[in-house]
Amino acid sequence: MIDDRPVFSALLARGEEAGGAAAGEGSPYAAPVVTASRAVWRVGAGGTTQASEWLAEEVPVALVYNGISHVVMLATPCDLEDFALGFSLTEGVVESADEIRACEVVPTCSGIEVQVELASRAFAGLKHQRRQLAGRTGCGICGAESLERAVRPVAQVAARPTVPLAHVNAALQALDDAQQIRNDTGATHAAGWVDAEGQLRLCREDVGRHNALDKLIGAMQRQGIATAGGFALISSRASYEMVQKAARAGIGALVAVSAPTALAVRVAEAAGVALACWARGDRLTTYTHAEAFAA
């Protein structure tokens, strides 16, 4: 087994030298930098040439609730407070942001821990979930109850916005410009929030598309940005998980630059989420609630 601890220790040291600025302004901790420079060799018909490229960092991030490690994700090490809140909301760990009492990002030699303090009721519910999972036999995910937990029902969103095609077009360009890590490395996804006036209010990036959306939802909660009237724009395909997270956050319209899955479409229809995909320039394809999108 490869021991990556020296690798992550080096990342932490580099972050401390940079004062943590690479992880986002105002970050209260010395975090790893989010990109790394690497020598590469480009091979083509004209021969081999040496160059330098920027690569996106990917770090194990453990979400620890009341001292108990719940899940470890590989993620881009920035906006981790947003990620913890968004993940907690969209995965049903908490029902509202008020159930999170504190959140601290703690770099370790093996990665990063995000230590979250939950209210008593939320932590009791999380422990109940963990006991159910721990009591499984066999492969651990087989059986009707496990499958039902894998594809959870989502509540209806309160309302759907009207999304002019011109707003989507402008937001696509704005999201492209806002992806600083992607523009340096080509390796990250993004999720953006576009308000009722068609302005891109927030953008969050990560090597994982689900992580990027969780970060966006967490940032919206922390900044008090309501979901009414606007839509979420994602740089990836629209999978079931992406629709489920959007619906749970109360987002009434989701626009993706790539394809949806059939399950994602069924869930969006059931939840009342207007889903559009293949957003390209002056066109898109609607899969549910087409009346929400106006030419």
The residues that are catalytic are 139
Distance of CA 71 to the CA centre of its chain: 15
C-alpha dihedral, 86 to 94 to 157 to 209, nearest 10°: 30
Per the CB < 8 A criterion, the answer to whether 79 and 211 are in contact is no
Q: Going by DSSP bridges, is the β-strand pair 283-288/274-280 parallel, antiparallel, or unpaired?
A: antiparallel
Tokens at 252, concatenated: 């009434």
Per the CB < 8 A criterion, the answer to whether 42 and 84 are in contact is no
CA-CA distance, 74 to 198, in Å (whole number)?
32
For 64, 165, 229, 231, 295, the CA distances from 283, given in Å and listed in that order, are 43, 7, 21, 16, 9
Backbone angles phi, psi at 221, to 5 degrees: -65, -45
